[in-house]
Amino acid sequence: MAKKFLNVGGAKPPGYTHVVTSPPGTLVFVSGRGGNAEDGSLPEDFASQCENTFQDLQRCLALAGAGFDDVVKINYYVTNMGDLAELRRIRARYLNMDNPPAATLVQAGLVPGLLLEIECTAVIEKGESS
């Protein structure tokens, strides 16, 4: 049994899935990650912070033996909804947009200088990792 990506009424919404089901496996929860670079610096622009965040998520997932194809739920917290197009452009390089995970987007007040935070949940199907 593989993951199933389901949408109410069968219509595919733009950039996310309404419901994702997954077979038994290992759950991976990645806490909210911000836009800091690997050296700890925080760029001032959204695109750099977004790229840094997805690279950091990739490292976190890899620690658990997972990757972006294993992500079933992702939450985005942004300070400015005007950055949504840039977020979508960058995330398309990381997530499977043919079968995107379930997602939530929230405009939030984050720590000063932080323009976004992303957290995710992944499922490593039995037999994929030890």
Q: What's the CATH number where 94 sits?
A: 3.30.1330.40
Q: Please indicate, yes or no, if residue 10 is contained in any of the structural domains.
A: no
Would residue 90 count as lying in a domain?
yes
Residue 34 inside a domain? The answer is: yes
For 102-113, letters b (16+ CB in 10 Å) and e give: bbeeeeeeeeee
The answer to whether position 42 is within a domain reads: yes
Within a domain: 4: no
Is 89 within the bounds of a domain?
yes
One pLDDT digit (tens) per residue for the chain, 130 residues: 788 888 888 888 888 888 888 888 899 999 999 999 999 999 999 999 999 999 999 999 999 999 999 999 999 999 999 999 999 999 999 999 998 999 999 999 999 999 999 999 999 987 655 4
The H or E element spanning position 86 is helix 84-91
Domain tally, the chain: 1
Its domain, for residue 60, covers 28-125
